[in-house]
Amino acid sequence: MTLATDDALWPMRPMARLAWRVGLGVAPALAACLRPFSPLRFGQTVIALRHDDVREVFLNDPTYAAPYAERLALITGGQPFLLGLQDGPEYRAALRALRGLLDLPRDAERVGRDAAAIVAAGLPASGPVDVVGLFRRATFDAVARWLGVPSADGPPDRLAVWGTRLFGFQFGGGPSVTDEQARPFAEAMRAHVAQAVAVRKAAGTAADDLLGRSLTLQAGGNPWFTDAAISTALLCLLVGGPPQPPMLAANALDQLLRRPDWLARAQKAACAGDEEELRGIVQEAMRFDPLAPALQRVAVRDGTLAVGTMRARAVPAGTQVLAAIASAMADGRRLVDPRRFDPLRPAADYLHFGHGLHECFGRELNSVLIHRLLMPLLQRPRLVRAAGASGRLAKRGVHAERLEIDLAL
Ligand code: HEM
């Protein structure tokens, strides 16, 4: 099958790009003005802006369900996966089965180490490098290896292109993508993963990756691990996971470049191998530019938000609900001095990886992977933005697309 894989992400019209840029530019100030009145209704949409309201949305899955099932079904060919399910026995069984595959913290260490090695090998001795592209290759290669999915034939980074396109289709926040545009990528990626499962099963080789561990459980009689369930899990982990760290790591780096003192602290921590300090700095940098301003939910029955307060608002069934995590992480009612850069904030201040039922499955990986992507760059003595426009973080919708950094040994 021939797919338009020359362009890493979906194409986007200049006017749409501009509209997103302006929207994202004004969003933090607008959110700060409107936050006292949260939750707000605009037509068929309710927006939760306060930290407490956002958590309330996430903690009420029976009312505010994740709206991902339909698009996920196009990707998986109708097979269910975590993010498309509401709480219940099917969701619980899937989560138990998949978390049972993890060998933590060893897996996180392995993925972080592999990704950092790929970044280090991809850095030029001197001159400019697009870190988003490099982080994408590193993350996809390291995560796919951990999952047990080989690279796809054809152009380099093909799997990363497929996965990133499908991530954009699934979660939005950029060019609008139709089912017809997404379908060939879904079919190609699904076929690739299914073949990887079939080949490994036929070979009968043992391997310490998620595919290998799944097949061992299958052979041991665990009924959850059918071939279809294994393929779907690997596919969805590839689509839902690795597209994100490259974008968020670039956002964090951009924020550090705006704060030379903190960039210097991060460089010092990276050179000293002080990962605890570096993790805190990177997590805090991400707070000023999270991956997405909001996560989507849909009210599947009548509900009320800000229950028990003067601000209580009815949310009729069918309402689209936006849980604005970026605004929540800037809410001075819960965070001490939210405008201050403070890497020592309590973990509860952060909502980067969601909260409640659908909280990120890859959170332990992320807590190693994101700062490890940055480490090889931060260990270089000279790290500045490339000259001109290429040295500014370019976004496609909400997502980081390109950021060139100029390096020297
Ligand atoms: C920067 C990195 C990442 C970010 C910011 C991130 C963020 C998130 C968020 C916000 C959610 C919740 C979505 C919602 O409630 O609507 C989520 C769920 C999920 N994430 Fe991540 N994620 C990242 C990396 C990963 C990785 C590396 C993996 C796996 C390899 C992964 C797998 C998943 C899965 C499977 C879910 C669904 C969990 C469920 O429904 O129970 N994520 N992620």
Model confidence pLDDT, tens digit, residues 112-121: 999 999 999 9
Cβ–Cβ under 8 Å, residues 245 and 373: yes
Q: What is the pLDDT of residue 9?
A: 73
What are the tokens at 272?
């000293």
Q: What is the pLDDT of residue 179?
A: 96
> What's this model's pTM, rounded to 2 decimal places?
0.95
Mutate to test the pocket of ligand 1, among 103, 238, 353, 369 (most ligand atoms within 8 A of CB): 353
Cβ–Cβ under 8 Å, residues 223 and 97: no
Amino acid sitting at position 35:
R
Which CATH number among 3.40.710.10, 1.10.630.10, 3.40.1830.10, 3.40.720.10 corresponds to the domain 14-408? 1.10.630.10
Collect all residues with Cβ–Cβ distance below 8 Å to 92 and sequence separation of at least 6.
none
| pLDDT tens for each residue of 274-296 | 999 999 999 999 999 999 999 99
| Ligand 1 atom nearest 323 alpha carbon | 16
| pLDDT tens for each residue of 32-53 | 999 999 999 999 999 999 999 9
Proportion of the chain above pLDDT 90, given as a percent: 92
Q: What is the mean pLDDT of the chain?
A: 95
Confidence check: pLDDT of 6 > 50: no
Please classify residue 26 by burial: count the beta carbons closer than 10 Å to its beta carbon, then call 0-12 exposed, 13-18 middle and 19+ buried.
exposed
Confidence check: pLDDT of 78 > 50: yes
Q: What is the pLDDT of residue 8?
A: 65
C-alpha 198: how far from chain center: 28
Q: How far is the CA of 237 from the centre of ligand 1 (A)?
A: 9
Q: How confident is the model at residue 408 (pLDDT cuts 50, 70, 90)?
A: confident
Average pLDDT for residues 189-193, to the nearest whole number?
97
User: How big is the CA angle at 399 (ends 397 and 405), to the nearest 5 degrees?
Assistant: 120
List ligand 1's pocket residues with C-beta within 6 A.
66, 82-83, 95, 143, 237, 240-242, 244-245, 248, 291, 295, 352-354, 358, 360-362, 365-366, 370
Confidence check: pLDDT of 350 > 90: yes
DSSP characters over 81-131: -GGG--SSHHHHHHHHHHHTT--TTHHHHHHHHHHHHHHHHHS-SSEEEEH
The residues spanned by each domain of the chain are: 14-408
Q: How confident is the model at residue 154 (pLDDT cuts 50, 70, 90)?
A: confident
Question: Which residue's CA is minimally distant from atom 9 of ligand 1?
Answer: 353
Cβ–Cβ under 8 Å, residues 406 and 125: no
Q: How far is the CA of 242 from the centre of ligand 1 (A)?
A: 9
What are the tokens at 38?
């949260």
User: How big is the CA angle at 271 (ends 108 and 368), to the nearest 5 degrees?
Assistant: 15
Cβ–Cβ under 8 Å, residues 202 and 191: no
Confidence check: pLDDT of 5 > 60: no
Nearest residue to 12 via CA among 392, 291, 398, 308:
398
